Structure 1
Amino acid sequence: MAHKYVYRFNEGDKDMKALLGGKGANLAEMTVIGLPVPPGFTITTEVCIHYADRGEYQDGVEAQVDDALASLEHDTGKRFGDPADPLLLSVRSGARASMPGMMDTVLNLGLNDTTIQGLIAQTDNPRFAYDCYRRFVTMYGDVVMGLKPEGDEGDPFEEQLEAMKRERGATLDTDLTAGDLKELTARFKALVKERTGKDFPDDPKAQLWGAISAVFGSWNNDRAVAYRRLYDIPDTWGTAVNIQTMVYGNTGEESGTGVGFTRNPASGENVFYGEFLVNAQGEDVVAGVRTPRPVAELEGVFPEAYAQLLEVQQTLEHELRDMQDFEFTIERGRLYMLQTRNGKRT
Structure 2
Amino acid sequence: MKWILALPGGAGSTADLLGGKAEGLATLHRLGLPVPPAFVITTRACRAFLDTGRFPAGLDEELGMAIAGLEAATGRRFGGPDRPLVVSVRSGAAVSMPGMMDTILNLGLTSGTTAALARETGEPGFADDSRRRFVAGFAAATRENPPQDVREQLHMAVAAVFSSWHTPRARTYRELHGIAHDLGTAVVVQAMVFGNRDAHSGSGVAFSRDPTTGAPIPSGEVVFGRQGEDLVSGRFPADPLRVLAEREPQAWHALRDALTVIENHYRDACYAEFTVESGELCLLQVRPGRFTGRAAVRVAVDLADEHLITREEALMRVSPDDLRHARTPRLDNAEVFARGTGACPGVATGRVATSADAAVRMAASGPVVLVRPHTSPLDMHGLAVAAGVVTAVGGPASHAAVVARAMGKPAVVGAGAVDLAEGTLVTIDGAAGEVVLGRARVLAGTEDAHLRRLLAWADRTCGGRPDRDEIARLTAAKAALL
- Per the normalisation by structure 1, the TM-score is 0.82
1:279 aligns with 2:277: no
Between 1:15-24 and 1:46-55, the stretch displaced more is: 15-24
1:11: how far off? 0.4
Corresponding residue to 2:202 among 251, 256, 261 = 256
How many Å separate the matches in 1 of 2:118 and 2:2? Answer: 37
Corresponding residue to 2:57 among 56, 59, 74 = 59
1:289 aligns with 2:235: yes
Residue matched to 2:37:
39
Q: Structure 1 vs Structure 2: percent identity of aligned residues?
A: 43
Between 1:8-17 and 1:60-69, the stretch displaced more is: 8-17
Q: Across the two proteins, how many residue pairs are aligned to each other?
A: 292
Structure with the larger helix share: 1
1:85: how far off? 1.5
How many Å separate the matches in 2 of 1:209 and 1:248? Answer: 22
1:204 aligns with 2:150: yes
Give unpaired runs (5+ residues) of structure 1: 147-191, 193-199
SS in 1 for 2:8: helix
The one-letter amino acid of 1:68's match is A
Residue matched to 2:183:
237
Contact 1:13 1:29 in 2 (8 A): no
How many Å separate the matches in 1 of 2:268 and 2:182? Answer: 27
Residue matched to 2:119:
121
SS in 2 for 1:289: coil
1:224 aligns with 2:170: yes
- Per the normalisation by structure 2, the TM-score is 0.59
How many Å separate the matches in 1 of 2:207 and 2:97? Answer: 17
Question: What is the RMSD of the two structures over their aligned residues, measured on CA atoms?
Answer: 1.3
Residue matched to 2:284:
338
Match runs of 1:162-201 below 5 Å? 200-201=146-147
1:14: how far off? 8.7
Residue matched to 1:101:
99
Residue matched to 1:133:
131
* Higher RCO structure, 1 or 2 (CA under 8 Å, sep 6+): 1
The one-letter amino acid of 1:338's match is L
Alignment CA distance shift 1:47-1:77 (3 Å): same
Give unpaired runs (5+ residues) of structure 2: 293-482
1:290: how far off? 2.0
Q: Deviations over 1:207-250 (max 9, x none)?
A: 00000000000011111011111111111211000000000011
1:321 aligns with 2:267: yes
Contact 1:21 1:95 in 2 (8 A): yes
Q: Deviations over 1:283-306 (max 9, x none)?
A: 111222321111112111000110
The one-letter amino acid of 2:47's match is I
Corresponding residue to 1:83 among 76, 81, 84 = 81
Alignment CA distance shift 1:261-1:128 (3 Å): same
Residue matched to 1:189:
none
SS in 2 for 1:336: strand
How many Å separate the matches in 1 of 2:112 and 2:68? Answer: 21
How many Å separate the matches in 1 of 2:254 and 2:87? Answer: 25
SS in 1 for 2:226: coil
